[in-house]
Amino acid sequence: MSQAEPAFVGEGRRFQRVCDILALHQHDPARLIPVLQAVQHEYRYLPAEVMAYVATALHLPPAHVYGVATFYSHFALVPKGKYVVRLCDGTACHVKRSEPILQALRQKLRVSAAKPTTPDLMFTVETVSCLGACGLAPVMLVNDTVHGQVTPEAALKIVDDLLTKEELP
């Protein structure tokens, strides 16, 4: 939403996008999971008001939609950062010392396991189990980009580069 727009314009657009997603899935309640996936892709999490809207549009009890959203760990109910950093903590990556990378990232971004997202919603740091690229251990994923054989220094450089990119006009 641009600075000059009244809030309701942004809200209208927000629900317009949800309407588009629902239409794409023919308002089929059996397509709830793909609908939620598309909503999350759009907003980077599942806002409560959007879940309520989806429930109404699909004629499903809100508790059912909420139950599905909380059952699957890949759905997020709180906002995530623009850059979601997922550090693998599977066995191969752990053995190759993923822990110091995690500590370096958390220290730099001042986040923790309990508060994984920076207040400016720029970064979220998470750990995940095996990313399926053990030959590249330790592995870090930033949104959809895979970084292999990462060191703490390399991880911090990746974050610095993203911060620099964000500061560019």
Alpha carbons 38 and 26: distance in angstroms, whole number: 14
Q: Does 92 bind ligand FES (CB under 6 A)?
A: yes
Binding track, positions 119-138, relative to ligand FES; x by CB under 6 A: -----------xxxxx--x-
Q: Does 142 bind ligand FES (CB under 6 A)?
A: no
Measured CA to CA in angstroms, residue 42 lies from 15, 17, 94, 104, 163 at distances of 11, 8, 32, 30, 22
Question: Would you say 12 or 132 has its CB closer to ligand FES?
Answer: 132
b/e 81-112 (16+ beta carbons within 10 angstroms → b): bebbbbbbbbebbbebebeebbebbbebbebe
Question: Would you say 36 or 158 has its CB closer to ligand FES?
Answer: 158
Strand partners, 87: 127, 140
Number of residues located near ligand FES, criterion CB under 6 A: 12
CB 89 to ligand FES: min, Å: 7
- Identify whether the C-beta of residue 65 lies closer than 8 Å to the C-beta of residue 103: no
Q: Does 46 bind ligand FES (CB under 6 A)?
A: no
CB 73 to ligand FES: min, Å: 17
Residues that bind ligand FES (CB under 6 A): 88, 90-93, 130-134, 137, 139
